[in-house]
Structure 1
């Protein structure tokens, strides 16, 4: 019997305006009735994820948890103090930031406080991040991390609308980074992400299962891109929304017919959770 549905947020649970589609609100209510915890699992900070749920009935999320920063942090829903936290090696992030400055590469720097600093963004990315809480634009004339002085750092990502360029950047920089300190993943068809070594949404889900005292087999992981892969593989059932990327699709036990932005979770409830509980 599945007890947890852990889901990516952007392009999976949210629409293109970072809002929860109405069908997914109904699915949250039904999961609550069935006794299934819905757990947001995102590369974004906890505070940013919480902003997505600010205007809904908070009873739908009572007693659940949030996995953030690609699995680096776990919080109880509504409690800003993390139960688990992992930071990136600061020297590695500083080197990556210097590379971004040298190449005028669009960059997001994530802090443990929940602030995400952005720089060198193209207009389409500027527009995209306007709907995300906690994003602070840094003037392009600043070429050091003085804007994050005193901040603990969690990860750094580079952005390009040409996803093949993101892949090339990852391949170019991987041999220059210590694999004991930094891992590389990809998301949203425009990001290459540099995260603490050993951190991913799969390890985050495993830690949460241990915290809840349940088997990982009792979890469902839902996503759309490469940074969801480990969660999809770790979960008892790995699920992709219809817009799942081709590199992750083969690892899914189920691919839904509904795109994430259209509200895919009623389909998940109808195809997996309802039949399971009817048979119990």
Structure 2
């Protein structure tokens, strides 16, 4: 099989535990790109935070190269960060999610819009991550939903807790209040419970982009490690889990890599599934 599209999660997949791309991954991906394979980061992060990675791979400002961000909420072309598709939450729904998920005073909440990030109850862990990624945000001092401009798009609402029982309680309460059919829940990084619009996920966005490019799903590789990568792995013709993936992610993948995110998992994919055909 000749693969034309390699779609990868970032945190705990392409990036190592220090949030850096291993050099072996960079070198391997450059080989794949030189052969005409399109490499698409598919992340829950904003697309603006992926620019350094694109620069490392020679894809920054590149026409005909793409990023999927906000768990599938936005697809952009790298040249000019041109938005090709975007799907957001109605403000009234986002506000219901916000209040429903604040089940105790230890839970943090992030509201991602196209132009801003609002955070209530910021943890020291998240403060460090945001500083490392140079993401500006507005700190909410009270548990009140912020005033968001009518022309700004709310892309997702996420809750932060390292307690698995609290994560489950947050998800259960939000789904009870807003209805299971009105949101797409997912988990990431072992501490986030994320809510996107219905039918918005990494997998559906991958298939939408592939269709626009005239690429069949059988020609797509999708790789990830966490719950919010399940849709990507299931949608791709070749769904791959890195060695450090959650057990439920490994169970749904067609391939489980020998390498984890610290040992060049993407380089293993390129060697096994792209270069071996050339």
**Quick check: TM above 0.5?**
yes
Alignment: residue pair count: 275
Mapping 1:1-280, distance limit 5 Å: 1-58=2-59, 63-100=64-101, 103-104=104-105, 105-113=107-115, 115-141=116-142, 143-146=144-147, 148-150=148-150, 151-277=152-278
| Structure 2 portions without partners, runs of 5+ | none
2:126 is paired with a residue whose SS is helix
Q: Aligned-pair RMSD on alpha carbons?
A: 2.1
Say whether the 8 Å CA contact 2:17–2:262 is kept in structure 1: yes
TM-score, normalised to structure 2, is: 0.91
Instruction: Give deviations 1:17-76, integer Å, cap 9, x for gaps.
Output: 433221111012111122211100011111122243345534796631111111121111
* Aligned equivalents of 2:180, 2:76: Cα separation in 1: 27
Determine the C-alpha separation between the residues in 2 that align with 1:241 and 1:61.
28
Contact 1:29 1:60 (C-alpha < 8 Å) held by counterparts: no
Q: Is the 8 A contact 2:100 2:174 kept in 1?
A: no
CA distance in 2, matches of 1:254, 1:239: 5
Contact 2:97 2:178 (C-alpha < 8 Å) held by counterparts:
no
Tell whether the 8 Å contact from 1:18 to 1:132 is kept in structure 2 after alignment.
Answer: no
CA 1:174–1:99 in structure 2 vs 1: closer, same or farther (change >3 Å)? closer
Contiguous gaps of at least 5 residues in structure 1:
none
Q: How far does residue 261 in structure 1 lie from its aligned partner after superposition?
A: 3.5
State the SS of the aligned residue for 1:198: coil
Offset at residue 159 of structure 1 (A)? 0.7
Q: Is the 8 A contact 1:17 1:131 kept in 2?
A: no
SS at match of 2:98: helix
Structure-2 separation of matches of 1:224 and 1:205:
16
Q: Secondary structure at the match of 2:12?
A: coil
Using the size of structure 1 for normalisation, the TM-score is 0.90
CA contact (8 A) 1:72 1:86 kept: yes
